[in-house]
Structure 1
Amino acid sequence: MSVEQLLGGVCEVRPATAADSVDGVSPQVVARPASAEETSALLRVCSAHGLAVVVRGHGSKMAWGRAPERVDVVLETGAMDGLVEHSRGDLIATAGAGMPLARLQEVLAEGGHQLVVDDLAAGHGVEGAGSTLGGAVATNLCGPRRLWAGPLRDLVIGVRLVLGDGTIAKAGGKVVKNVAGYDLAKLLTGSYGTLAVITEVTVRLHPLPAETRWIGASVDPRALGTVLHEVVHSQLAPHAVEVRVRPGVRPAVVTMLSGTEAGVSARAEALRESLADLDCPAEVHAAPPPWWGVLLHPGQRAGTPPPPGSRPVLVKATARLSGIPQLVAAVEEVEGTATGSAGVGVLHVALPADGAADRIHRLRAATSGLGGSTVVLDAPPEVKSGLDPDSTWGPVPGLGLMRAVKDQFDPGRILAPGRFVGGL
């Protein structure tokens, strides 16, 4: 009996095509369950027959991490895309894992709220639709406003999930302080779909500010540390501080301020004046620059889609805050293009493919000395195939504990086997 016949009575199933391959690994079918119950039935069959499953939202980050060892079934979450609840008084919302982030933000804005998560993959994925809520949670997607509200894992307060054997479970709840014991919602955030299939997510919201301004400056590299210290530690309460790095161009620093109209205008002018005192002329803008909060390929113009079929060597590099100027210098030395948060010490770096392994090694040596790390999120197949798992993820403390967790959640190793750190 074929896989399509095995799963045909469970949920909507179609034969896979070349476009459904997962980082070069071809599945047999694509399944589209419409509920947690259908997801449970699907995984029970897959578990019983040893079928490997990889979850997909819009596919904007499907190539992140290592290629899975095998894929039999791609599980699409697009049929689980509804808004379950928006509690305006409690500032929480619950939505299906397949809900597009862009649509969720539009719905929440009608009630004056927002999920403070930047879709770094906007313009990528199916028809450029960007990330789904489930995909953002699976990869712990975080952008400029992480300085304001913390990483996504701090905004997820509950999930509904299905384990590899089909067991349906819930973690967390619908209030912010609802966790006694281990927080499974945080465990699943950033697990790349290797522990369970998330079908529903409850998140903490923030009110939409009345006004937002962006203060941008081109900074002399010799003054970058002074400028960043002035901005990040300012009493003006910045909600984001982004730095952009390009070969042969002075770093750009853009600060986002939000609040009441009068308050933001006064704070923006105060910041502009303080930067002027540091001989760093700045301008106040009503809109962010086009590169704000998106991942760019080398040579890609901000505000334009990536070249068709192109894949960058995309690296996440981190450092302690005081080490950001040195990290920027290290990115320039390896001819990288980067954007990221100087306020939390996270840069997303696109590297040229030629000599990528050496560039990654040099960048990792720099971040290690700055109290951070270097993780390869994506790379062209010819580059990724030449990188061993240690080169992709770098040193990982607690790998033994992570293996034990994987064994408990997915003992049959049917959920994205081999995709995550250490071959999990």
Structure 2
Amino acid sequence: MVYQRRIIDEELDELFAELPAIALEGPKFVGKTTTAEQRSVAQLRLDAPRVQEAVRADPALALQQSKPLLIDEWQKVPSMWDAVRRAVDDSNGAGGQFLLTGSATPSPGATEHSGAGRITSMRMRPMSLAERGSAEPTTSLKDLLYSSMPAVQGWTDLGLADYVREIVMSGFPEFRRANLRVLRRSLDSYLRYVVERDIPELGVSVRKRDALLAWLRSYAAATATTANFSAILERAVPGEVQMPSRQTVSHYRELLEQIWLLDPVPAWHAPWYALGRLSETPKHHLADPALAARLLGLSAEDLLHGRDSTPSPPRGSILGNLFESLVALCLRVYAQAAEADVHHLRTRNGDHEVDFIITGHDGSVVAVEVKLSGEVSASDLKHLKWLRSKLGENLQQAVVITTGPAAYRREDGVAVIPLALLGP
């Protein structure tokens, strides 16, 4: 099959020749190995037991292959990380030597060295809408961050039904090729293997697998909210499953982040602005909103027609929150390409909140609200206007992402952009 380039390929084109080693990190099936293969001339597949045995015996010898060398699933032999670090030192940091791919971060203490200065980590997420080819973007997030007043224009035929379809169809490349029945089975298997195989591979036994899946369903119902973890635990199918202790669930949550299944959006800390007391609670998101929809047993038709038997989320609607999660995925892919970070903002008392705060490498700030509609009213902008009153000219752009047909700039300067028309 012809390789479909991803946005991260642009970063690799620019950086790999100058950096000695890059570690591509992200959940399984996100496409890390396939992307790394495009730049390697030799491979070490550490998911093969015989290869693991040989590498453990002499990691340095295993690295004496043609470069660039792909080291796939390196976390299965953590000593390989330290061997790469030493090889980089021995080569005086020559660029373009090693590509490491990993579906989990090893437990603390598994490696001798952090890799700082030798191995550069790069996150890989499921495909954004721009990568899926759903529409041709007309507005660049990079321009919004680093240009004073970029043009905001364009038209798309995509509507709400199309976005709902993209939510459930997943951004995992392999899953997108499947028909709906195969897709459902693939997502179910993916989630089951997380509990039965991926977490045990980290050295932790999951004794109450059904309870952990129940907690994951409760977490999915809290998508795009800041619900506290005690509430998520209490809502995890009460009365049906004997849940483990909060301490055990907290440990499971750390492991789920370690294998990149949970991808929360952190809270924004801006002590240099007079914003009052800000919440420090992250917004909950899974790696792909399709996983959340599948955990909740929701099809595209269920979401479109309001056929939802799951408990009401702590904030908003299930469909609105899943759409926001799709936006979060896209923004994080585009922001990484633009050397930017994605956070959310919420005051401690809940009076003001902004769905996403994107901060560029030069300190520029773009504030983003998400609306599950094609129409934007004055009331939809109150939090953006509040933030503008606090940040003044330090707020580069105020943006509303919609499901509507047109991208345009309002008279008050707010950019209204359909998600399909936003790109890197």
TM-score range (shorter-chain normalised) is under 0.3
More strand by percentage: 1
TM-score in terms of structure 1 length: 0.25
Ranked by relative contact order (alpha carbons within 8 Å, sequence separation 6 or more), the top structure is 2
More helix by share: 2
